[in-house]
Amino acid sequence: MSEIPLIQVRGLHKSFGKLEVLRGVSFEVKRGEVMAIIGPSGSGKSTLLRCLNFLEEYQAGEVLFDNTLVGYRDSAAGRRKLDSERNIRRIRARLGMVFQSFNLFPHKTVLENVIEGPVVVKGQPRAEAEAEARTLIARVGLTDKLDTYPSKLSGGQQQRAAIARALAMQPAAMLFDEPTSSLDPELVGEVLEVMQSLAADGMTMVVVTHEMGFARRVADRVMMMDEGEIVELTPPEQIFTKPESPRTAEFLRRVLH
Amino acid sequence: MSYTWQWQLIWDFRQVFVRGVEVTVMLTWWALLIGLGLGLLLGLMRSSRLAVLRWPAAVYIDIFRATPILVQLVWIYYALPILLGLQMGNIVAASVGIGLHAAAYIAEIFRAGIESIDRGQSDAAKSLGMGYGQAMRRIILPQAVRRMVPPFINEFATLMKLTTLGSVLAVNELLHEAENLINNTYRPLEVYTIVAVVFGLMIYPFIWLSQRLERRWKTRG
Ligand SMILES: Nc1ncnc2c1ncn2[C@@H]1O[C@H](COP(=O)(O)OP(=O)(O)OP(=O)(O)O)[C@@H](O)[C@H]1O
Ligand SMILES: [Mg+2]
């Protein structure tokens, strides 16, 4: 069983109206693997990530999470139908997501943000959820901010709280969409550190990022995307030293100045 | 020429104002309840992804906003019973009419409030595995409600003032009682002054409350 990759994507196509954003994307993410996704703006990185937990519907191809088709099921007539909300939610609950703009719940404190998922979605008793939340919040270094509202936190603190909120669901994998892109440069490090320690603990992670240093140090493989396609998917040593594709070389030259 | 105000006379008739206020408050209460319940439903329908829900709500809202409330009230009191074969008392008809009217405006307040919340909030709620209802109840509406309070209080004040239109259906609300009193006493200036003061006293506390809430929520973000 454990050889079956946790996430399998095959021939994924996604359009917004006439605009084709993903044009046949296929890859796999093994358990415990960290995959970084890089590529120019508008290449479809966020859209790809959002298809993995079905925040976006896709038109063709398949996304399998833990060997289960995400978002759809086959109807009796052999045609694909939208899956039940219950099944979609069950998969989302097992995939943590961290956003570029944090998206903490502003009307809830850090502690309330972190227990929200376990209490509301899993029905965990509040006291138990709080105990676990405190451990997670300590792990991201925010113990002194338990009862603080997000608007009183720095960007780095907000993002660490958002990571704790996602972890509270005990996800099988974590999806990060440019988690440090809206942070002041001096706050990037504290968030990357938390992510690195997660990776070290064996968390399966898919990370869209512009932090090439992080991708190089932490990722097992790096995916280069351009215009809705995978240009290259190789270990970091290779992509950063001798990229196969001229498009990758050109992109890296630009971001690494 | 100087006018002699006769407040003693008004004081002698104070019971008339008390009765009027009671009916006005009752009309306001029922109209508000109908307006809120239906308004929330219409607002949710209006911001739905499903056209079958969005359309009827949009048509309802446009009809009630594009026609005069006086016509709506008269129509509900006189024409609806003929169509549906059910007789309504004038107070019920006035409550329902003002409530249905207010629902159209309240629906727009709900919709605008819901749509003012960043999409990232519902993304975050969904990514935790929350359903539509949970995300609405726990994440979107609590934030939206804060933004809706000022326009909502505004609508509430409008609604309370609209109850005076109940007088066209001979509902004994404050204005109607006041006009009866004027017919008996010939003291319109005193009576209308009191009516204005009483409405002001009923409405102002809500305006004050809304300003306080706004300030408090601002500091908490
Ligand atoms: N909800 C949407 N409706 C319509 N078009 C969209 C939507 N979301 C994204 N797009 C379009 O899809 C394309 C890919 O967007 P996407 O956000 O996936 O790119 P990205 O690689 O994440 O870019 P960035 O690095 O700027 O975040 C873009 O052209 C974008 O304008
Ligand atoms: Mg993006």
Phi, psi of A108 (to 5 degrees): -130, 150
pLDDT at A37: 98
pLDDT at B219: 61
- Using CA atoms, how far apart are residues B204 and B196, in angstroms rounded to an integer? 12
Cβ separation B138–A116 shorter than 8 A? yes
**Is A119 within 8 Å of chain B by CB?**
no
Report how far apart, in Å, the C-alpha atoms of B203 and of each of B153, B184, B210 are. Answer: 9, 28, 11
Cβ separation A105–B124 shorter than 8 A? yes
In this structure, the residues whose C-beta lies within 6 A of any atom of ligand 1 are A 16, 19, 21, 39, 41-47
Determine which residue's CA is closest to atom 9 belonging to ligand 1.
A47
CA of A243 to the centre of ligand 1 (A): 25
Closest CA to A209 of A245, A185, A175, A250: A175
Per-residue pLDDT, averaged over A163-191, amounts to: 97
Domain spans of chain B?
8-220
Q: Tokens 């404190």 — which residue?
A: A109
pLDDT at A2: 58
Test site for ligand 1: of A14, A47, A55, A208, most ligand atoms within 8 A of the Cβ: A47
Q: Going edge to edge, which strands form the sheet with A19-29? A: A19-29, A7-16, A60-65, A68-69
Count of beta carbons in the 10 Å neighbourhood of residue A91: 21
Closest CA to A34 of A62, A55, A7, A10: A7
pLDDT, mean over chain A: 95
Answer CATH for B8-220 from 1.10.3720.10, 1.10.274.10, 1.10.10.10, 1.10.730.10 = 1.10.3720.10
Q: Ligand 1, closest atom to CA A17?
A: 4
- Per CB-CB distance under 8 Å, the chain A contacts of B126 are 55, 92
pLDDT at B46: 92
Is A16 in a helix, a strand, or coil?
Answer: strand
pLDDT at A79: 82
| HSE, side-chain direction, 13 A CA sphere, residue A42 | 2
pTM for the full predicted model: 0.85
Nearest CA in chain A to B124: A103
- Using CA atoms, how far apart are residues B132 and B129, in angstroms rounded to an integer? 10
User: Does the pLDDT at position A235 exceed 90?
Assistant: yes
Cβ separation A101–B120 shorter than 8 A? yes
- Per CB-CB distance under 8 Å, the chain B contacts of A90 are 129
Query: Worst-scoring range by mean pLDDT, A22-26, A150-154, A252-256, B1-5?
Result: B1-5
pLDDT at B117: 95
CA of A251 to the centre of ligand 2 (A): 16
Per-residue pLDDT, averaged over A235-256, amounts to: 93
Cβ separation A93–B132 shorter than 8 A? no
pLDDT at B220: 58
Low-confidence ranges of chain B (pLDDT < 50): none
Ligand (nearest to CA of A19):
1
**Is B122 within 8 Å of chain A by CB?**
no
Question: What interhelical angle do B14-46 and B90-115 show, nearest 10?
Answer: 40
CA of A62 to the centre of ligand 1 (A): 20
Closest CA to B134 of A176, A116, A165, A28: A116
User: Does the pLDDT at position A17 exceed 70?
Assistant: yes
